[in-house]
Structure 1
Amino acid sequence: GASILLTLKLYFLFHLIIVWVFPTKIVLLITTRFGDDWKKCLELPPKDTRVKTSDVTSTKGNEFEDYCLKRELLMGIFEMGWEKPSPVQEESIPIALSGRDILARAKNGTGKSGAYLIPLLERIDLKKDHIQAIVMVPTRELALQMSQISIQLSKHLGGVKIMATTGGTNLRDDIMRLDETVHVVIATPGRILDLIKKGVAKVDKNQMVVMDEADKLLSQDFVVLIENIISFMPKNRQILLYSATFPISVQKFMSKHMQKPYEINLMEELTLKGITQYYAYVTERQKVHCLNTLFSRLQINQSIIFCNSTQRVELLAKKITQLGYSCFYIHAKMMQEYRNRVFHDFRNGLCRNLVCTDLFTRGIDIQAVNVVINFDFPKNAETYLHRIGRSGRFGHLGLAINLITSDDRYNLKNIEDQLVTDIKPIPSSIDKSLYVAEFHSVDAEDGGEEKA
């Protein structure tokens, strides 16, 4: 009995020491792990010190933490290098979290993807094993890019299942994937409709639909597919539309399918403030020589060069390689697997220049691109806007150079008028501060190119 009593005394004495003598240390230990110091454990990318324009800096001063987001989602946001919300994110995130429909008009490269992916991921309920959100985009490349961003943002959320599905890939793989839990589907319209009609993608409980590049998705190419997809979803689903331009087709869709959408318009002007635009007046035969001169004189980090046909893309890429510059090319007639590889390698900086058709104009976000060259001038203002928006991403500086023949001169004037922008004659020397964030020389490579 004495030994039992001694044991009890020792237990209570130990209990008192732990609870009353060391309570502050216990609390401190918990605070260090779960309190305000959680940011110190983040794997942050190098800080982006480049100059940014008011397209992304003229904010209300909000922080991502102001929106009561899950800490695990905040960790993903900060590890993406997103420090503060851009104007379109400030406008979108709280409204999207409330469940209201949104019609948002904002320039390319101002953070539209974060404006819808952040609230979308915040609202995913991991206890439910059905599709809860669908993001529709017009191209395969954009679908793959959005899925990569979504996976990075959600990596600390502990089990959000994200799937990208596009045409040109094995349908059986998608069917097998959907046999397991999927919370978010990022898709091109044709493929997701095919999976819905086969009864594989069950969207009857889907709560959120996002359309990125909505003007393209609601054009004649896609609108019938979109209407069909929406018909399989519940009536109380939330719809978010994002685009740089909103033609009549978008207005028709809005009045038919959306419930008093919250309208965001950050388009007092159409072109990004950080992009300087020039034209060079040439004959068709002078274009390659002019391009060679630009390569030798400009400080190109990465460039995208646009042509108006697949045949011209291949011919120009061959010419650029013969001139001694590194060059990839991409167009819609190439096999999807090869397109994916080219896009991935260019994004990772394996090549300085990319020649392409308008396949590459929408939403493609490669931060290193600081020069866009229209080897062939586009036919309309919308295409021009999307092309030059490949440089100057997220408020950074960029250069757009247009090679203009006599056949293009009226088109140039029309596009200037429609976009209310000024495309100036190219000067003999272009100030590097207009398109190079930090300029310092390194050893020349790729036939004399200078690296930014």
Structure 2
Amino acid sequence: MATARTANPAPMIGLNKPANGQFRGQTKPAGQLPGLLAPAQQPSGPMRMSSIPQSSGGIKFGDDWKKCLELPPKDTRMRTSDVTSTKGNEFEDYCLKRELLMGIFEMGWEKPSPIQEESIPIALSGRDILARAKNGTGKSGAYLIPLLERIDLKKDFIQAIVLVPTRELALQVSQISIQISKHLGGVKVMATTGGTNLRDDIMRLDETVHVVIATPGRILDLIKKGVAKVERAQMIVMDEADKLLSQDFVVIIEDIISFFPKERQILLYSATFPISVQKFMSKHLKKPYEINLMEELTLKGITQYYAYVTERQKVHCLNTLFSRLQINQSIIFCNSTQRVELLAKKITQLGYSCFYIHAKMMQEYRNRVFHDFRNGLCRNLVCTDLFTRGIDIQAVNVVINFDFPKSAETYLHRIGRSGRFGHLGLAINLITCDDRYNLKNIEDQLVTEIKPIPGSIDKSLYVAEFHSVDPDDDEDDDGIEGGAKIKEL
């Protein structure tokens, strides 16, 4: 299947939409995307072969094992207090297995973030947790590290299940699990989601699996078929718990819980906790340890602007933003699948390489788009709210709400795709007359300020390191909000 590389312009395609979500426009010369992860840092690329033995048997007592690590290039970008305001703990303070520490450090995780400091020792003790922390502050590590530490390789059954609301998040979490456990010498991690071949999952579960990362519908199907045996599983994690306990999933989640033993540990993680989470906690958690790191809701490193436009001006405004901003990678949100495809086509016609993704696409194509965008093969991704939950792509420094969201919760999750792990990011909202009251409501609910967009945006607000600007970048100060003679989407 063809993929688009921003560095290698491809001929303009026709108006027929590609089924795989990968438009290839005649891109402006960009060279290597500034700020994108180098191959050694690609979290979802092929894992590098390590010279470290796969178990501690190859490291003798007294050896300096840290010298053997193959660390990624050090991230020297500035980080905000969202992840730096810690107690000063080290990962080694938690008495973790040396082999697990190796995987942690080779991921480039140097010190625990605040949510990891609060969560890891409590999770290791076996206590239930209700944790609320901002998007992009290290929640995945907060539960995966204690989960993997507690896996007993002598037991050949499922010991832990991580439930997530989307297939893309399941793939991301499973990849992180595999990478940080690669030196543990035999931890078997499996991802299972709807839209994939059920027979393959059944065959995989016929072998040893210790950890399952799953979407709710698929794992419940496997449990009811007697294939996924969870009666001895000791831990259940719910990532993006507010979504999992919404009306879309809560009945399935209750059904899944009924198959687990009464003595199990439940960990809930999310950025927002509506009433549904409180009800579930009261029913299923035993004296949970509550963590709340949400004194403010939005990430400190994200600068938020709005541009007041008419519907017909949106594409022109987007084109102006592309020409002026120093974008590493951008995610552009629309409110419907139809508008996602139409906008992706428009962006391609403007000469920019663009992928798109939404829930109605075949899973095979969704996986390819997610993988290729994460690996930096395209600068821009147009999507629905499918891509708001937990997706962590470090190179994304700009989020654009082409269509303004209806709820504060959706807005919070959307803009949280930039400024990941304490880095800088930019959120730009295209606001029409119909959105103005919603804009004010979201500002009030999140206790945040969304400012009018200036004629030029200071790069220091969203670019951590200055790179050479593309030759086509326009630095003039023409107003962004000018009219556009482009057919309305």
- TM-score normalised by the chain length of structure 2: 0.84
C-alpha contact (below 8 Å) 1:109/1:394 kept by paired residues: yes
Q: For residues 451 and 298 of structure 1, do their structure 2 counterparts lie closer, same or farther at Cα, with a shift above 3 Å needed?
A: farther
1:214 maps to which residue? 241
**Aligned partners of 2:95 and 2:361: how far apart in 1?**
45
Q: Relative contact order, CA 8 A, sep 6+: which one is greater?
A: 2
The alignment status of 1:451 with 2:478, answered yes or no, reads no
Flag the 1:197–1:446 CA change in 2: closer, same or farther, 3 A.
farther
Note the C-alpha offset of 1:446.
23
Aligned length: 418
Distance 2:113 2:63 in 1: 24
Cα deviations across residues 64-112 of structure 1 (Å, max 9, x unaligned)?
A: 0000000000000000000000000000000000000000000000000
Aligned CA RMSD, in angstroms, stands at 3.4
> Closer, same or farther in 2 for the Cα pair 1:416/1:222, shift >3 Å?
same
1:327 is matched with which residue? 354
Distance in 1 separating the partners of 2:433 and 2:362 = 35
Q: Distance in 1 between matches of 2:229 and 2:464?
A: 47
Counterpart in 2 of 1:382?
409
The reply on whether 1:237 has 2:274 as its aligned counterpart is no
Q: Please list every run of 5 or more consecutive structure 1 residues that lacks an aligned counterpart in the other structure.
A: 1-32
What aligned pairs does 1:39-438 form with structure 2 within 5 A after superposition? 39-438=66-465
CA distance in 2, matches of 1:171, 1:327: 32
Q: 1:420 to 1:448 in 2, by over 3 A?
A: closer
Shift of 1:215: 0.1
For residues 143 and 482 of structure 2, the distance between their equivalents in structure 1, rounded to whole angstroms, comes to 39
C-alpha distance 447-34 of structure 1, shift in aligned 2 (>3 A): farther
Give SS of 1:428's match: coil
Q: Sequence identity, in percent?
A: 93
Offset of 1:34 from its aligned partner?
A: 3.6
Q: Are residues 119 and 60 of structure 1, via their aligned partners in 2, closer, same or farther at CA, if it must alter by over 3 Å?
A: same
Which SS does the other structure have where 1:36 is aligned? Answer: coil
Q: Could you tell me how far 1:448 is from its partner in structure 2? A: 19
Question: Structure 1 residues 451 and 112, CA, compared in 2 at 3 Å: closer, same or farther?
Answer: farther
SS at match of 2:64: helix
How far did residue 447 of structure 1 move?
A: 21
CA distance in 1, matches of 2:228, 2:424: 42
Distance 1:65 1:376, change over 3 A: same
**Alignment partners' CA distance in 1, 2:488 and 2:75:** 18
Change (3 A) 1:258 1:160: same
In structure 2, distance between residues paired with 1:176 and 1:206: 20
CA contact (8 A) 1:325 1:447 kept: no
CA drift at 1:389? 0.2
CA shift at 1:35, angstroms?
2.5
CA deviation vs aligned residue, 1:233-262 (integer Å, no higher than 9, x gap):
000100000000000000000010000000
Query: Scaled by the length of structure 1, what TM-score is found?
Result: 0.90
Task: Please give the alpha-carbon distance, in whole angstroms, between the structure 2 residues aligned to 1:406 and 1:36.
Answer: 66
Contact 1:134 1:209 survives alignment (8 Å): yes
- CA distance in 2: counterparts of 1:68 and 1:306, whole angstroms: 42
Answer whether contact 2:316 2:484 (CA < 8 A) is retained. Answer: no
User: Which entry has the higher C-alpha Rg, 1 or 2?
Assistant: 1
Asked if structure 1 preserves the Cα contact closer than 8 Å seen for 2:317 and 2:482, the reply is no
Contact 1:207 1:238 in 2 (8 A): yes
**Contact 2:313 2:482 (8 Å CA) reproduced:** no
Render the CA deviation track for 1:10-68: whole Å, top value 9, x for unaligned. Answer: xxxxxxxxxxxxxxxxxxxxxxx443510000000000001100000000000000000
Distance in 2 (CA, whole Å) between partners of 1:144 and 1:447 is 41
